């Protein structure tokens, strides 16, 4: 009896605090949010009738989130989200990576061609319109064609005669469709970034790890045309006046306080069947980990000793290392959480619910079996695609450069030589080459090729590898990395900046002739063609069939299980909520919910170079020169944990308290949470946020850029008797 009571209590407690889910802002779990301490209304969070918190949130650069923190267009996002921009502005003379960058007035802000931020104006359920003309008897191909055509009409209907963009997105594998109406700004300037020793404090040692002390933030500013509309960079542009910016709670959060994270999580895969999880754990992740481990060993060694190489490869190293470490943690987490067994249990349970219902058995009786069977059938081609993506997009860079050049040359083929458009493409060829060579090191790239090529071969099933025996010089040993690399990297015209630019600017015809005989150009084309001819179609077929079944699978899960059902993340705007709290992730280990500046000094004292800090930060600590940015106990809080369900893409998302005030900046998850894109465990999964007061402390006290803090709206919530919701 006693045991039953304890079991019931555990069940109640965990469901009471269960915080799984990334909710569409128009379909919030509002009662639960309010029960957990939120004072906001649905309209405060998302409204089309007046300003709301959504108007302070932007999709930053497509892969991250940012938020408006002043009425002059100032955006806060992660350091790692702005990193490639800081890197691009850096040189040996202006080493912003080491020294940080701070615009002391608006004229010093730096423009970032190509960078965009996107506001969401409206989210509209258009399921009925999009599915008009689709019948239960339609094949997947017919269904997709109708959906595509209907979506175009829907988008057109809503955005015609406006400057907005529209996109119809599928949710729950196409059970629902929402139209997302967007406003996209393109004049985005860099305002401030701390040195890497603060913004990336802890480096790869601490990435995905708690306790954490990273000041992972950077500042940008949106500029608009004088009438407040999106405009490309121009001198007459003005700082954008947003509909809403987030006020800052200078008292921060206490353990147990409500928090929510509002942003654009990229992709999650929570509803997969167990064979899919097996594929990820046993095939895809090990291959990707192996390739990246090899690349990183080469890049890291090269970056340590030479400053110029460090600057060139900083952003590229991060691009490779972040997911590398995540996948290692993901596999460990899924394994120790017995994810495959749990999925099987779930499937057995759902199967018996289906079998107990005579109205469902015919349509859904064999669904789970079919899904698992189809998953196995697709493993080889899915792996071939994953290998291609990994090798081509994250491996030797020269292959990507080559295909980029090929694309431009192909466009030129259709144009009259010397025409205006033709000349524009010549200019593009020059720009592309210049920016590629700025950060390229041939010997690093060659070593990467040498090391990854054998993996490309050994991991792929024979049906999907590329035959390169037609390339002169490699015919006898085309699966041997060292020999192939030596041939390719000794005779290609793509490797030498001056030579290549000269070719572009003397004769495109001659350049093309030379490229046709160039071994790297040939390999790049062969690899790409092998993917498009041999892999892409089969993969797409497998995915279409699988997604079709997943649509039924998510539908029936939603029907038969009582829990509120949320659609997997798909880079659309979502709200996650939970509270500021630590966890007990492993035997004998407890994570406290927050860290302080003292911890930075302790880590620095270990001598690990990932914990190097600027002298000034040490002095601010020893002098206790903290200004108004302290906790109640007089310390500087640096990072805190929360039970908000987040994913990649939530990087830079605001952590907002129950009154709509900014308290932190989301940037990572703990080691045990790296599995949460596939399986979320509410007891141990935690997101990591920088305390907003640490951000302000660094801006004001470290960087002497207090003028930026002056732009913001700071509120001492405890002093104003009752915190007001100040959204509307
Ligand atoms: N740091 C993470 C990322 O790189 C954010 C997350 O996945 O939680 O995407």
Ligand 1 in contact with 646 (CB < 6 A)? Answer: yes
Q: How big is the CA angle at 205 (ends 202 and 206), to the nearest 5 degrees?
A: 55
pLDDT at 2: 34
Q: What is the CA radius of gyration of the chain?
A: 27
How does DSSP assign 691-705, residue by residue? EHHHHHHIIIIIT--
Write out the two tokens for 15.
């469901």
Ligand 1 in contact with 669 (CB < 6 A)? Answer: yes
Looking at per-residue pLDDT, the higher value among 62 and 570 belongs to: 570
Counting atoms of ligand 1 from 1, which one is nearest the CA of 649?
Answer: 9
Counting atoms of ligand 1 from 1, which one is nearest the CA of 669?
Answer: 8
Instruction: Note the pLDDT tens digit of each residue in 220-265.
Output: 999 999 999 999 999 999 999 999 999 999 999 999 999 999 999 9
pLDDT mean over 676-689: 96
Centre of ligand 1 from the C-alpha of residue 194, in Å: 19
Ligand 1 in contact with 676 (CB < 6 A)? Answer: no
Q: State the burial class of residue 28 (Cβ atoms within 10 Å of its Cβ: 0-12, 13-18, 19+).
A: buried
pLDDT score of 725 more than 80: no
Task: Give the span between the Cα atoms of 604 and 237, in whole angstroms.
Answer: 43
pLDDT at 720: 64
pLDDT score of 155 more than 60: yes
Centre of ligand 1 from the C-alpha of residue 88, in Å: 22
Centre of ligand 1 from the C-alpha of residue 668, in Å: 5
Q: Does residue 662 contact residue 69 with C-beta atoms inside 8 Å? A: yes
Ligand 1 in contact with 207 (CB < 6 A)? Answer: no
Ligand 1 in contact with 570 (CB < 6 A)? Answer: no
Task: Give the span between the Cα atoms of 59 and 194, in whole angstroms.
Answer: 22
pLDDT at 463: 85
pLDDT mean over 569-595: 97
pLDDT score of 13 more than 50: no
Centre of ligand 1 from the C-alpha of residue 328, in Å: 14
Instruction: Note the pLDDT tens digit of each residue in 304-342.
Output: 989 999 999 999 999 999 999 999 999 999 999 999 999
Domain chopping of the chain, boundaries = 1-116+186-270+570-728, 274-548
Centre of ligand 1 from the C-alpha of residue 512, in Å: 42
pLDDT at 15: 40
C-alpha torsion angle, residues 149, 155, 158, 162 (rounded to 10): -130
Return mean pLDDT, the chain. Answer: 94
Centre of ligand 1 from the C-alpha of residue 397, in Å: 24
Instruction: Report the nearest-CA residue for atom 9 of ligand 1.
Output: 648
Counting atoms of ligand 1 from 1, which one is nearest the CA of 688?
Answer: 8
pLDDT at 83: 95
Please, which pLDDT band fits residue 724 given cuts at 50, 70 and 90?
A: low
pLDDT at 478: 67
Counting atoms of ligand 1 from 1, which one is nearest the CA of 80?
Answer: 4
Instruction: Report the nearest-CA residue for atom 3 of ligand 1.
Output: 648
pLDDT mean over 633-662: 98
Q: Give every CB contact of residue 89 below 8 A, 6+ residues apart in sequence.
A: 96, 101, 110, 190
Please, which pLDDT band fits residue 62 given cuts at 50, 70 and 90?
A: confident
Instruction: Provide the percentage of residues in the chain whose pLDDT is more than 90.
Output: 90
Note the pTM of the prediction, 2 decimals. 0.93
pLDDT mean over 675-683: 95
pLDDT at 10: 34
pLDDT score of 91 more than 90: yes
pLDDT score of 1 more than 90: no
pLDDT mean over 618-624: 98
pLDDT at 475: 66
pLDDT mean over 106-115: 98
pLDDT at 16: 41
pLDDT at 480: 79
Instruction: Note the pLDDT tens digit of each residue in 447-505.
Output: 999 999 999 988 988 789 888 888 888 766 667 788 889 989 998 999 999 999 999 99
Looking at per-residue pLDDT, the higher value among 562 and 228 belongs to: 228
End-to-end Cα spacing for the chain: 52
Q: Does residue 305 contact residue 323 with C-beta atoms inside 8 Å? A: no
- The residues annotated with a catalytic role in the active site are 80, 216, 651
Instruction: Report the nearest-CA residue for atom 7 of ligand 1.
Output: 648
Instruction: Note the pLDDT tens digit of each residue in 190-224.
Output: 999 999 999 999 999 999 999 999 999 999 999 99
pLDDT score of 728 more than 90: no
Counting atoms of ligand 1 from 1, which one is nearest the CA of 78?
Answer: 1
Centre of ligand 1 from the C-alpha of residue 269, in Å: 15
pLDDT at 474: 79
1-116+186-270+570-728: which CATH architecture?
Beta Barrel (2.40)
Q: State the burial class of residue 400 (Cβ atoms within 10 Å of its Cβ: 0-12, 13-18, 19+).
A: middle
Counting atoms of ligand 1 from 1, which one is nearest the CA of 646?
Answer: 8
pLDDT mean over 571-575: 98
pLDDT mean over 564-593: 96
Instruction: Provide the percentage of residues in the chain whose pLDDT is more than 70.
Output: 96
pLDDT mean over 78-88: 96
Ligand 1 in contact with 648 (CB < 6 A)? Answer: yes
Ligand 1 in contact with 668 (CB < 6 A)? Answer: yes
Ligand 1 in contact with 677 (CB < 6 A)? Answer: no
pLDDT at 8: 34
Instruction: Report the nearest-CA residue for atom 8 of ligand 1.
Output: 668
C-alpha to C-alpha distances, 550 to 196, 362, 366, 452, 560, nearest whole angstrom? 43, 17, 13, 34, 15
Q: Does residue 249 contact residue 659 with C-beta atoms inside 8 Å? A: yes
């Amino acid at each position: 009896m006693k045991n039953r009571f304890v079991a019931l209590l555990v069940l109640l407690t965990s469901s009471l605090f269960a915080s799984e889910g990334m909710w569409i802002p128009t379909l919030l779990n509002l009662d639960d949010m309010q029960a957990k301490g939120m004072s906001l209304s649905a309209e405060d969070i998302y409204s089309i009738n007046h300003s709301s918190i959504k108007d302070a949130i932007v999709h930053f650069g497509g892969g991250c989130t940012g938020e408006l923190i002043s009425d002059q267009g100032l955006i806060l996002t992660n350091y790692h989200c702005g990193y490639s921009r800081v890197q691009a502005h850096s040189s040996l003379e202006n080493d912003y990576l080491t020294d940080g960058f701070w615009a002391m007035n608006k004229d010093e802000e730096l423009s970032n061609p190509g960078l965009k931020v996107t506001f969401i104006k409206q989210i509209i359920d258009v399921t009925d319109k999009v599915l008009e003309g689709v019948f239960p008897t339609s094949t997947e191909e017919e269904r997709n064609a109708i959906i595509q055509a209907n979506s175009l009409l829907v988008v057109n209907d809503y955005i015609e005669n406006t400057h907005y963009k529209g996109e119809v997105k599928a949710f729950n594998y196409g059970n629902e469709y929402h139209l997302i109406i967007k406003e996209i700004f393109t004049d985005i300037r860099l305002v401030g970034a701390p040195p890497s020793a603060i913004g990336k404090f802890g480096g790869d040692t601490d990435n995905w790890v708690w306790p954490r002390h990273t000041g992972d933030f950077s500042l940008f500013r949106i500029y608009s045309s004088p009438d407040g509309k999106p405009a490309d960079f121009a001198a007459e542009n003005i700082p954008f006046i947003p509909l809403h910016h987030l006020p800052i709670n200078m008292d921060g959060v206490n353990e147990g306080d409500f928090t929510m994270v509002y942003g654009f999580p990229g992709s999650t895969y929570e509803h997969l069947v167990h064979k899919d999880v097996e594929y990820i754990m046993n095939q895809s992740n090990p291959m990707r980990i192996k390739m990246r481990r090899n690349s990183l060993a080469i890049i890291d060694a090269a970056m340590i000793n030479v400053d110029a190489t460090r600057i060139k490869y900083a952003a590229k190293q991060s691009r490779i290392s972040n997911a590398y470490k995540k996948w290692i943690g993901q596999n460990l987490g899924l394994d120790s959480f017995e994810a495959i067994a749990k999925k099987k249990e779930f499937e057995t349970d759902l199967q018996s619910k289906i079998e107990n219902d005579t109205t469902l058995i015919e349509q859904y009786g064999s669904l789970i079996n079919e899904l698992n069977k189809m998953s196995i059938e697709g493993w080889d081609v899915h792996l071939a695609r994953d290998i291609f993506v990994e090798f081509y997009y994250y491996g030797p860079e020269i292959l990507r450069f080559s295909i980029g050049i090929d694309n431009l040359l192909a466009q030129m083929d259709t144009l009259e030589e010397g025409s205006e458009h033709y000349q524009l493409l010549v200019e593009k060829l020059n720009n592309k080459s210049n920016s590629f060579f700025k950060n390229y090191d041939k010997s690093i790239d060659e070593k990467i090729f040498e090391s990854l090529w054998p993996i490309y071969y050994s991991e792929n099933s024979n049906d999907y590898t590329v035959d390169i025996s037609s390339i002169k010089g490699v015919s006898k040993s085309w699966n041997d990395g060292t020999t192939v690399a030596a041939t390719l990297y000794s005779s290609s015209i793509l490797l030498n900046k001056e030579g290549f630019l000269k070719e572009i600017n003397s004769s495109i015809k001659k350049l093309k002739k030379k490229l046709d005989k160039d071994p790297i150009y040939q390999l790049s084309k062969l690899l790409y063609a092998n993917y498009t001819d041999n892999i892409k179609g089969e993969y797409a077929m497998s995915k279409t069939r699988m997604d079709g079944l997943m649509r039924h699978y998510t539908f029936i899960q939603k029907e038969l299980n009582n829990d509120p059902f949320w659609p997997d993340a798909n880079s659309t705007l979502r709200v996650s909520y939970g509270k500021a709290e630590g966890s007990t992730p492993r035997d004998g280990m407890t994570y406290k919910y927050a860290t302080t500046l003292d911890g930075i000094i302790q880590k620095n004292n270990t001598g690990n170079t990932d914990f190097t800090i600027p002298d000034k930060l040490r002095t601010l600590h020893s002098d206790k020169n903290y200004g108004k940015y302290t906790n109640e106990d007089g310390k500087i809080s640096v990072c805190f944990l929360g039970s908000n369900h987040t994913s990649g893409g939530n990087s830079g998302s605001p952590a907002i308290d129950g009154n709509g005030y900014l308290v932190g900046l989301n940037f990572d998850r703990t080691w045990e949470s790296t599995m949460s894109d596939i399986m979320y465990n509410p007891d141990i999964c935690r997101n990591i946020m920088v305390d907003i007061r640490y951000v302000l402390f660094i801006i004001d006290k470290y960087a002497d850029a207090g003028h930026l803090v002056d732009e913001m709206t700071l509120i001492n919530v405890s002093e104003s008797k009752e915190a007001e919701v100040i959204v509307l």
